[in-house]
Structure 1
Amino acid sequence: MVSFFICLAILIVGYFTYGKVVDNTFGPDDRETPAVSINDGIDYVVMPQWKLFLVQLLNIAGLGPIFGAMQGALWGPVVFLWITFGTIFAGGVHDYFAGMLSERNNGASISEICGIYLGGVMKDVMRVFSVVLLVMVGTVFAVGPAGLIVTLLSNNGVTGALASKEVWLWIILAYYFIATFISIDKIIGKIYPIFGICLIVMAIGVAFGIFTNPAYTIPEIWSNFHNMHPAGTPIWSFMFITVACGAISGFHATQSPLMARCMKSEKQGHLVFYGAMVCEGIIALIWAAAGCSIYEVTGGLSTGLQEALKAGQSAAIYDVCKKTMGGIGIALAMLGVIACPITSGDTAFRSARLTLADWFKVDQASYSKRLIICVPLLAAGAFIGHLDYSIVWRYFSWTNQTLAMIVLWAASMYLFKEKKNYWIAVVPATFMSAVSCTYFILAPECLGAFLNRKTAEGATIYNTMLAYPIGILFAALLLIIFLRATKKQTSKA
């Protein structure tokens, strides 16, 4: 348990120290923000700082820091290190610059930001990446809650149309349409802070339940510094992709511009962007600790957690809340696993609308022009919602972290052009480049389908001898390209 508290302390101290270094490096000032200068009453609306923080937290979180962290716990308490240091040195930096660069460019979506600092080709790549990722996120966060609602109703004797997953999927998509279409302060600004508080209370309740139950002991990192995954899945780079939202997530870069359009002052960025990421890291740390402490470990492997996760993400979260908080936990779990993904799903579609609006220069002031974008987006979501859920989720994971990698390179170039310390973004950008490339080679849904092999018993033998060196070389190549680009620009100057 000591290592858990050390990581928790590092996260909190990291917000006040390294987070301030990042903030000072950017240099927020008193210029007029887009929320004030544009203020269209739809997407550009001034919100108070406390509300910005809670909405940002809920937008970037969903079930990411909960279920992703629990899946990450399959590798054992070593996941604490990635959540802690990933949040401070990668995720916090990523989210801060995604939000603040948007704020400095009239609330532009992240694809447009990447185009400004990385060129037109990368702008087009990011446009496609962003829209695909956002539609997948919105769809995943519609299908999951629809299935859980049906399960709850069926368990309580409800039959007929109300117990149909298809019906609830369309109901959720209809809500997404409304939330995506109307002004940001009508639903998101009023209700989401409440759900943000519930997300925090849920994590505190889980932590309290673990600490007060003598049957649960959070294992120490130094006593379990090995791969505890029952399937033998490599820590590098699968754990770094799996945890995602609890450490760094490209999805966050698509959400940060929403709040960048609602800030009254640039000086709110430290709390709203870096602070929300640290808060999410703390939530992920607690849920990873739950996965490591509540379930049985057999032969040094997380076999009990593996069995719990086989029942599905909603069932696993329900089980943790029930064991740590009892009846209150069940109520919070139901709120969390239904409301949290839905609230991230609708902002995903909203971000997709704004990305397409920026892309095709479609003014969003009129209802008709918003409809032109909203209807096809939700139609695409409805189509993807009927595909295999597990396949959509797996491709989302890699797309998500690849987008984070690109955003960090854009932040690096911005800092170079501003003659500021670009290494705070270059180091995590290089690291995530290696992670993304290695995963693409090893993952079964990517090149791993051709490069890995199976044993007679059906176990996967990952081709790490090939993937690890290629991942490192790819990251080194991008670093060299970046440094050469900076050298050329310096010479021209």
Structure 2
Amino acid sequence: MGSILIALGTFVGFIIAYNFYGKYISTRIFEVNPANETPSHQYKDGVDYVPTSSPILFGHHFTSIAGAAPIVGPAIAVIWGWVPAILWVIFGSIFLGAVHDFSSLMISARNEGKSIGEISGNIVNNRVRTLFLLFIFFTLLILIAVFALIIAILFETYPQSVFPVWMEIPIAITLGFLVYKKGKNVLIPSLIALALMYVTIWIGIYLPFKMPAILGLSPRMVWVIILMIYAYIASVLPVWTLLQARDFINSHELMVGLILIIAGLFIARPEIVAPAFNHNAAGAPPIIPFLFITIACGAISGFHSTVSSGTTVKQLESEKDARFIGYGGMLAEGILATITILVCIAGFASLEAWTSHYASWSAANGLAAKVSAFVEGGSSFLTSLGLTHTIGTAILSVLVVSFAATTLDSATRIQRYVISELASDFKIKPLASKHGATLVAVIAAFLLASINGGAGGMILWPLFGAANQMLAALALLVVTVYLLKKQKPIYVTMLPFIFMVIIETWALLYNINQFYGQGNTLLTTIGAILFVLEVWMVVESCNVFNKTRKEELSSNISA
């Protein structure tokens, strides 16, 4: 019964937050105005700038920000106990993550659809802009490499997911064609597409595919090459051709998956077997600050600011949709994180079974363990609905892989924008083009992923969490300066910025100290560079903040 009460309490809390706090920020702080022309109309080109109805854009935005991270992070974090994990997801989503995502979307919409990094040049100065873009480039570089490896590992772990995941591409392309070229209403074609997806999942159970080694390359590296080729193609195609339609299908797939899990939760009424607090997790880093770094997506994530101000803003049809997509999208991710936590604390048969899975940090921190905790635990809920364990595992494994794929190609597309902006600044014309920038994005990520036979991205993974949250803090700082210049209340972004900059700096310095003690020169150096970049950007931004504050005070005194 405890798991049901947690689910209901969280859902009700998010609904209240959306209708009160979200509405307050939207109407009082940003003064959303449907009459304002959005960048999707200003620069409509049918490729990147495409005015899109809110249901379709919500699906694209939600699946882009979610990926596999709100499953992976919470599945690890419950090692410290389920109470801290749930509280961070609830309060982090409402007061930090949703504010961060919505505000990034709004300032981009009011700055010609430019990325948060590009906007920082207008709001702070050009030095911060260049540093911010470089920081985003580095973060996305790690992300693309890591998620290519994650998908490759998932294909190896769950070979039944290969067929349905790849069949989703022609299904999505057909859906996009019917909606945008034939003018069909999206509802019926999308439902047919969803039904076809579940047919492919059933077929995949009987046609599992194991990639062989090819030309001396391991199966994992073969998958990484194929995925990089896919990411390149998906990034340069018009957004309506594949990304929008596939993400719309994925959002429906997730909703069905969540409904099935929640229905199973209410029917099975599983007891929570995990401890509320666990202070003796073997080998785990301290809960503070690492809880707030481990659960990023699902509470607050810097990557979301690149999505809001990258792909989403270029498809925003009207400012009135911003709260639903920006604030509501983050709360939807919080629901996914909550369900993941419940699956990982109530999906085990006993405390002994849970303890065996979470015996140590190294056990819980392994990718297979993270995913299997969700897939296996969720499957146990689905069996209460009469589904077999085989079908339940197939449904949930495809869901996880599909979401990881949305992160891969959305991140590649955003990386293309970042590289183009940097190339234009430094007058490197070949790299400013769509194909040149995308080529750099995928080649750089592939080289990183291929280090040590496919462990390259995972080598840098310990830094990614801190770098991602650092990006969130910096995005909140830029928005805070923006609000100050507009003479708007700044506490809604200033307080989250202060919290995040303290937490992520603490975690980064802890990691640097650990890497140095281990003699890991690569991670120590990269961590130090990130720390210097952060301090530089914060100092520059605070100087502008103080200058603007003084000017505001002077004008008030004069008045």
Q: Name 2:449's counterpart in structure 1.
A: 385
**Pair 370,319 (structure 1): closer, same or farther in 2 beyond 3 Å:** same
Q: Name 1:23's counterpart in structure 2.
A: 26
Q: Name 1:137's counterpart in structure 2.
A: 143
CA deviation after TM superposition for structure 1 residue 159, in Å: 6.3
Q: Name 2:423's counterpart in structure 1.
A: 360
Match of 2:225, SS?
helix
1:76/1:228 contact within 8 Å kept: no
Instruction: Give, as a single letter, the amino acid of the residue that structure 2 aligns with 1:266.
Output: E
**Pair 321,308 (structure 1): closer, same or farther in 2 beyond 3 Å:** farther
1:291 partnered with 2:296: no
Superposition pairs of residues 190-229 of structure 1, within 5 angstroms: 190-214=245-269, 216-218=270-272, 224-225=276-277, 227=279, 229=281
Q: Name 1:41's counterpart in structure 2.
A: 46
User: Hey, what's the Cα distance between the residues in 1 that align with 2:432 and 2:6?
Assistant: 55
1:145/1:338 contact within 8 Å kept: yes
Match of 2:317, SS?
coil
Aligned partner of 1:50 among 55, 58, 64: 55
Cα deviations across residues 67-99 of structure 1 (Å, max 9, x unaligned)? 111112111122111000000000001000111
CA deviation after TM superposition for structure 1 residue 451, in Å: 7.1
CA deviation after TM superposition for structure 1 residue 302, in Å: 5.0
Instruction: Give, as a single letter, the amino acid of the residue that structure 2 aligns with 1:6.
Output: G
User: Hey, what's the Cα distance between the residues in 2 that align with 1:485 and 1:336?
Assistant: 49
Q: Name 1:261's counterpart in structure 2.
A: 314
Instruction: Give, as a single letter, the amino acid of the residue that structure 2 aligns with 1:374.
Output: T
Q: Name 2:438's counterpart in structure 1.
A: 374
Cα deviations across residues 88-144 of structure 1 (Å, max 9, x unaligned)? 000001000111111111110121122222222221121011111112212211111
Cα deviations across residues 47-84 of structure 1 (Å, max 9, x unaligned)? 11101111000000000111111112111122111000
Match of 1:275, SS?
helix
Q: Name 1:395's counterpart in structure 2.
A: 463
**Pair 131,265 (structure 1): closer, same or farther in 2 beyond 3 Å:** same
**Pair 426,296 (structure 1): closer, same or farther in 2 beyond 3 Å:** farther
Taking only aligned residues, the RMSD between alpha carbons, in angstroms, comes to 3.1
1:337 partnered with 2:400: yes
Q: Name 1:277's counterpart in structure 2.
A: 330
User: Hey, what's the Cα distance between the residues in 2 that align with 1:72 and 1:274?
Assistant: 24
User: Hey, what's the Cα distance between the residues in 1 that align with 2:545 and 2:313?
Assistant: 29
CA deviation after TM superposition for structure 1 residue 28, in Å: 1.2
Q: Name 1:349's counterpart in structure 2.
A: 412
1:60/1:252 contact within 8 Å kept: yes
**Pair 119,304 (structure 1): closer, same or farther in 2 beyond 3 Å:** same
CA deviation after TM superposition for structure 1 residue 317, in Å: 3.2
**Pair 185,491 (structure 1): closer, same or farther in 2 beyond 3 Å:** same
The percentage of aligned residue pairs carrying the same residue is 27
Match of 2:488, SS?
coil
1:73/1:291 contact within 8 Å kept: yes
Greater Cα offset, 5-14 or 283-292:
5-14
**Pair 82,386 (structure 1): closer, same or farther in 2 beyond 3 Å:** same
2:481/2:545 contact within 8 Å kept: no
Match of 1:5, SS?
helix
1:98/1:110 contact within 8 Å kept: yes
1:149 partnered with 2:215: no
1:251 partnered with 2:303: yes
CA deviation after TM superposition for structure 1 residue 309, in Å: 5.5
Aligned partner of 1:66 among 67, 71, 81: 71
User: Hey, what's the Cα distance between the residues in 1 that align with 2:63 and 2:89?
Assistant: 18
Instruction: Give, as a single letter, the amino acid of the residue that structure 1 aligns with 2:111.
Output: N
User: Hey, what's the Cα distance between the residues in 1 that align with 2:252 and 2:540?
Assistant: 40
**Pair 101,302 (structure 1): closer, same or farther in 2 beyond 3 Å:** farther
Aligned residues: 466
User: Hey, what's the Cα distance between the residues in 1 that align with 2:515 and 2:432?
Assistant: 45
User: Hey, what's the Cα distance between the residues in 1 that align with 2:277 and 2:209?
Assistant: 47
1:109/1:358 contact within 8 Å kept: no
Q: Name 2:187's counterpart in structure 1.
A: none
Match of 1:245, SS?
coil
Instruction: Give, as a single letter, the amino acid of the residue that structure 2 aligns with 1:69.
Output: P
Q: Name 2:190's counterpart in structure 1.
A: none
CA deviation after TM superposition for structure 1 residue 230, in Å: 4.1
Q: Name 2:379's counterpart in structure 1.
A: 322
1:295/1:305 contact within 8 Å kept: no
**Pair 212,233 (structure 1): closer, same or farther in 2 beyond 3 Å:** farther
Cα deviations across residues 338-358 of structure 1 (Å, max 9, x unaligned)? 211111111101001112222
1:4/1:80 contact within 8 Å kept: no
CA deviation after TM superposition for structure 1 residue 294, in Å: 2.5
Q: Name 2:89's counterpart in structure 1.
A: 83
CA deviation after TM superposition for structure 1 residue 297, in Å: 7.3
**Pair 367,132 (structure 1): closer, same or farther in 2 beyond 3 Å:** closer
Q: Name 1:408's counterpart in structure 2.
A: 476
Structure 2 unaligned regions, length at least 5: 161-206, 383-388, 519-534
Aligned partner of 2:514 among 439, 448, 465: 448
Cα deviations across residues 186-213 of structure 1 (Å, max 9, x unaligned)? 1012221001121232233333333332
With normalisation by structure 2, the TM-score equals: 0.77
2:473/2:501 contact within 8 Å kept: yes
CA deviation after TM superposition for structure 1 residue 323, in Å: 2.0
CA deviation after TM superposition for structure 1 residue 22, in Å: 1.2
User: Hey, what's the Cα distance between the residues in 1 that align with 2:280 and 2:16?
Assistant: 29
User: Hey, what's the Cα distance between the residues in 2 that align with 1:85 and 1:230?
Assistant: 27
Greater Cα offset, 373-382 or 389-398:
389-398
Cα deviations across residues 425-475 of structure 1 (Å, max 9, x unaligned)? 0000000011111101223xx2234579xxxxxxxxxxxxxxxxxxxx99x
User: Hey, what's the Cα distance between the residues in 2 that align with 1:394 and 1:266?
Assistant: 37
**Pair 480,137 (structure 1): closer, same or farther in 2 beyond 3 Å:** closer
User: Hey, what's the Cα distance between the residues in 2 that align with 1:308 and 1:404?
Assistant: 26
1:431 partnered with 2:476: no
User: Hey, what's the Cα distance between the residues in 1 that align with 2:211 and 2:479?
Assistant: 52
User: Hey, what's the Cα distance between the residues in 2 that align with 1:322 and 1:360?
Assistant: 47
Match of 1:437, SS?
helix
